[in-house]
Structure 1
Amino acid sequence: MKQTFQICYTSDTHGHVFPVNYAAHSPEASGLLNLACQVGKDGDTLLLDGGDSLQGTPLSQYYLDHSAACAVHPIAAAFNALGLDYFTLGNHDFNFGYEALKSYLCAMNAVCLCANLQDLKGELPLRAEAVHTLASGLRVGITGVVTDHVNVWEQPQNLEHLRVTDTFQAAKAALARLRPLCEVCVCIYHGGFEKDLATGRTLSSSGENIACKMARELNFDLLLTGHQHMAVEGVRLGGTYAAQPPAGAGQYLRVKGVYSGGACRFSSALLPVGRRHPAQPYQDLLGLEEKVQAWLDQPIGTLHAPIPPEEKLSSALYGSQVAALFNQVQLAATGADFSCTSLGNAPVGLASPVTMRGVTSAYLFSNTLVVLQVTEPVLRAALERCAAYFTLKNGRPAVSEAFLLPKIEHYNYDFFAGLAYTFDLRRPVGSRVTRLARLGGAPLGPGPFSLCTSNYRATGTGGYEALRDCPVLWRGSTEMPELVARYIQAHSPLPPLHNADLEVVWQA
């Protein structure tokens, strides 16, 4: 007997509830509320999500800062309107501590499946796996796991009552429990592919992403991935069908399954989110959205001159005023010897007067600060990673494919402050740093030194493995957008900043 079913899957929605582009202050076809008008649900349809839902927009940031005054959890309300059945957690869902996570999970109608998360307090509505019987009688076993690099990235206090265990082993154990109970086994994995799906080239060996290993060494029928923000419409890896939607709730994945003769065949498509939304909970949440928009438009200070949007390659070659501001904030907050920061994939600037909208559009992440103890070889290795951003095409600098494929990663180019350094692009990758001194030209000296960076970069992510094992001297808890806003308020009108001396050489 042939049994058909479908799965609608989102992941990495990152706080996108309303159909709004907060940076442009304009409507757009995106968001969980609009998606709720598109997914037709019946007894043979499952709605699943892969995590990273609590962080990413001014709405989610504002709610988490003012949750005590809010009667409804906006992200949970949107997922409930969608009719979500099961979901797992993403690494960013741990960013706000145990109580914020508990509030979210308790507000959700869907079941949270996270087989490699142990709740030491026993208060979270959490399961390792579930068997869902569809209207056709087909039994679908579902588990969820999150990348265990949560243990590397997350602030220790946010994991005080939680334990994240080995991702692969937890998925393997859940599969062993599910396989005798159902016809189809599905794993929701908040993690991505460690190999290029077209060439097989290794993208990461850190263990952050292990989807290829899971697909080839376990025998899940369907592996729904996330975390990487890549659009993978569908790929067969060994005996497993795998897919991944992009981030931001602008598209979702529709997977169709046909079970017959003891085997399941899949096909899938990425579909756009439309422009319609249901009356509820849109109207109930609209008051919160209006408060967010008013908060974003509050002036917080001025600049001596506006900073126009900075093109990515030009900024990497000649420096960035926005990055210089972020580094200055980090240096002022920590007193570190040196600082490094990165920017998002899109060109950003800052208008004057500066508003919270401008700050949150320029600094896209909820990163906190970490101060590492580093040596000259560590600084040199980090700068060599930055120098690998460039290649030469027809004798002119261009962005290396290593930062463009399989996805665009301008955010993995770091800008340093407090240093004078030169990249010689005529030299091989790995030996391009030809000058390294303190700002002003004084020798570095014997060290060690203190380097302020984000909690994300401090883990060595993005090719900065040299930072991974450096001793931690200090950890902050205030997120960078708030620190930037405070700094601009205190130093308004803010003059142009010159806290680095970068030279890139490519001609004789």
Structure 2
Amino acid sequence: MSNNKTLDIIYTSDTHGHVYPIDYAGNRPCNASLLNIASEIKKDGNTLILDGGDSLQGTPLTQYYLSNADKYDYHPIAEAFNAMGLDFFTLGNHDFNFGYEVIRDYLNAMKAKCLCANVEDLGGELKLSKTAIVTLENGLRIGLSGVVTDWVNVWEQADNIAKTKVTDPVIAAKKALDEIKDKCDITVLIYHGGLEENPATGQKMSDTTENVGCKIAHEQDWDILLTGHQHIANEKFVIDNTFAVQPPAKAEKYISMHAETSDDGLLVTSKLVSTGDVHEETAYNKMLQLEEDVQRWLDIPIGSLKDPIDPEEKLYAALHGSRLAAIFNQTQLEWSGADFSCTSLGNDPLGLKKEVTIRDICAVYPFSNTVFVVEVTKKTIKESLERVASYFTLVDGNPQVSKEFLEPKIEHYNYDYYAGLDYEFDLTRPVGERVVKMLRLDGTELSDTDTYTLVTSNYRATGTGGYKAIGNSRVIRNSTEEMPDLLQEFIQKNSPLGDIVNSRIRIVY
């Protein structure tokens, strides 16, 4: 290893379509954006700009662009990354949400090289590499690879991944490391996935293989591991001599890392940098027409409510029911004709104004979920409701949100609201034994032998969030339209929309 040579890394991940410094839901400026990060980067011959994926989904801008791409002679995500001077990146699970051609067009527009060692291109049109070795201006040789969580195979619709094959990231990372480690001075793995252990204590946080960053660090000897996916800000941690980091989501902050080689080995330091309030001008101005088109589209009225819905505080809504969730569930029920529906809300308290626009729908349902109908039994519903009931804990006899839904990251979105059911939880009972009533809305008991239909999101239909019983259920059919589009149609059709009562929930404590 060469003496006293340095490498600087700027690393982003899970930027989720945040190109412009705009909070679209509130229609106000914000700093979180790729263009603002681009204005802050001072790149030289010993600096690498890297990204960990999940870039194509997450804002109204990306939603609008992907439906109207033919109108523009640029790709907004690629333009922003190109303005940053991005060198290498990997794909995230959400980048597969829109199918093969969208990934192909994105990769073609990027100046940076995509490293994804565990993605096999069955269509033959993707600009993908497994590894790269770059020599810095100072002569330091950097070996890089990238991998994505193979839970893409769990979450994604079959049509979207028909021309790609996502394999085990641990095996692919090991093979990539073996290929490059003797040819370089520093090895870097970009992993769109997170940590299954608490890096401070080593305590196992998950038994699934969704996140295997610690396994990679334990079993392989990468110098630097750049993680993502979990949206947990962690500016530095060391796992078995592998230096690892993770930035938060939405381009709010990025990692600035400095590595220096010496006779004593590799010294690495890093910090989280909050995105500033100045944007890069050239790309910003180039894409202003798209941004203006998005703003006009967002303000298109689609319908109205009889009464507005104030932002719903998370614990209160979980205890007493949610008017917003009732609308989501009724939308799913009317599309599917299913016996029951379940839905969840995002992490932030949200509501709807009396006059509803596309902007409002994008704010309350910011995900590109589709809708699945699965075949369930009474046992399936009971097990799933027990998972819902585990959201609560009692503190001095009063219900609070369980730490399981708050740590290591906040997961209010894993609390499900059901429709078509009259159900009751007794929080004084142990977790797993809290569902004490479960009837159809007409008061009839569920049969131990019959099967029923449950409509839910594609996310929940995979069993994600602790809902294995739903994930093990047979899929009957699914929508091709995304849930925000179904919501728009439902509100438009039923305006002015009054309160919807499609469930009864009682919580005893």
TM-score range, shorter chain: over 0.9
Query: Alignment partner of 2:270: what SS?
Result: strand
2:16 to 14, 28, 33: 14
What letter is aligned with 1:100? Answer: V
Aligned counterpart, 1:380: 382
In the alignment, the residues of structure 2 paired with residue 125 and residue 277 of structure 1 have an alpha-carbon distance, to the nearest angstrom, of 29
Aligned to 1:363, which of 362, 365, 387? Answer: 365
Cross-structure match for 2:79: 77
Question: Which residue is equivalent to 2:458?
Answer: 455
Counterpart in the other structure of 2:311: 309
For the pair 1:251 / 2:279, whether they are aligned, the reply is no
> Which residue of structure 1 aligns with residue 500 of structure 2?
497
Q: Partner amino acid for 2:501? A: H
Q: What per-residue deviation string (whole Å, max 9, x for no partner) do you get for residues 79-125 of structure 1?
A: 00000000000000011111111110000000000000011121111
Query: 1 CA distance for matches of 2:227 and 2:21?
Result: 24
Letter in 2 for 1:478: E
CA distance in 2, matches of 1:212, 1:309: 38
Distance 1:411 1:352 in 2: 24
Q: CA deviation digits over 1:11-40, x for unaligned, max 9?
A: 000000000111111001110011111111
Question: Deviation per CA, 1:274-333, whole angstroms, max 9, x where unpaired?
Answer: 111122111111111111111111110011111110000000000000000001111111
- The whole-number CA distance in structure 1 between the counterparts of 2:441 and 2:202 is 42
1:390-437, Cα deviation, whole Å (9 max, x unpaired): 011111111111111111111110111111111100001111111111
Aligned twin of 2:30: 28
The 2-side partners of 1:14 and 1:66 are apart by 18
Quote the residue 2:89 is aligned against: 87
Report which stretch shifted further, 336-345 or 458-467. Answer: 458-467
Identity, % of aligned positions: 54
How far, CA to CA, are the matches of 2:499 and 2:198 in structure 1? Answer: 41
Following superposition, the deviation at residue 262 of structure 1 comes to 7.0
Q: Which residue in 1 is equivalent to 2:188?
A: 186
Residue 131 of structure 1 corresponds to which residue in structure 2? Answer: 133
What secondary structure, in the 3-state scheme, does the structure 2 residue paired with 1:59 have? helix
Q: Which residue of 2 aligns with 1:269?
A: 271
1:495 partner letter:
G
Instruction: Provide Cα deviations, 1:51-106, integer angstroms capped at 9, x if missing partner.
Output: 00000000000000101111110010000000000000000001111111111000
- Please give the alpha-carbon distance, in whole angstroms, between the structure 1 residues aligned to 2:220 and 2:115: 18
User: In 2, distance between residues paired with 1:449 and 1:199?
Assistant: 44
Q: Using the alignment, how far apart are the partners of 1:77 and 1:113 within structure 2?
A: 19
Query: Which whole-Å deviations, capped at 9, do the CAs of 1:123-170 have from their partners, x for residues lacking one?
Result: 111100100111111111000000001011111011111111111100
Contact 1:367 1:480 in 2 (8 A): yes
The answer for unaligned runs of 5 or more in structure 2 is: none
**2:287 partner SS:** helix
1:169 to 168, 171, 174: 171
How far the C-alpha of 1:199 sits from its partner, in A, is: 3.5
Matched, 1:481 2:484: yes
What is the Cα deviation at residue 266 of structure 1?
1.1
Match of 2:159 in 1: 157
Question: What's the offset of the Cα at 1:200?
Answer: 3.0
- Report the secondary structure of 1:293's partner residue: helix
Matched letter for residue 479 of structure 2: G
Partner SS for 2:387: helix
The equivalent position to 1:236 in structure 2, one of 226, 232, 238, is 238
Cα-Cα RMSD? 0.9
Q: Compared with structure 1, are the counterparts of its residues 243 and 423 closer, same or farther at alpha carbon in structure 2 (3 Å cutoff)?
A: same
Residue 112 (structure 2) pairs with residue 100 (structure 1): no
**Residue of 430, 446, 455 corresponding to 1:428:** 430
Instruction: Show the counterpart of 1:67.
Output: 69
Q: Where do 5+ consecutive residues of structure 1 fail to align? A: none
Residue 329 in 1 paired to residue 331 in 2?
yes
CA distance in 1, matches of 2:202, 2:322: 35
Is the 2:199–2:239 contact (alpha carbons within 8 Å) kept by the matching residues of 1? no
Question: How many aligned positions are there?
Answer: 506
Provide the rounded CA distance (Å) in 1 between the counterparts of 2:467 and 2:241: 34
Residue equivalent to 1:413 = 415
Q: CA deviation at 1:7?
A: 0.4
Give, in whole Å, the separation in 2 of the partners of 1:376 and 1:182: 58
> TM-score if structure 2 supplies the norm length?
0.98
Q: CA deviation at 1:469?
A: 1.6
What TM-score does the superposition give when structure 1 sets the normalisation length? 0.98
CA contact (8 A) 1:187 1:220 kept: yes
Deviation at 1:458, TM superposition (A): 1.1
The corresponding residue for 1:353 is: 355
Q: Which residue identity does 1:505 align to in structure 2?
A: V
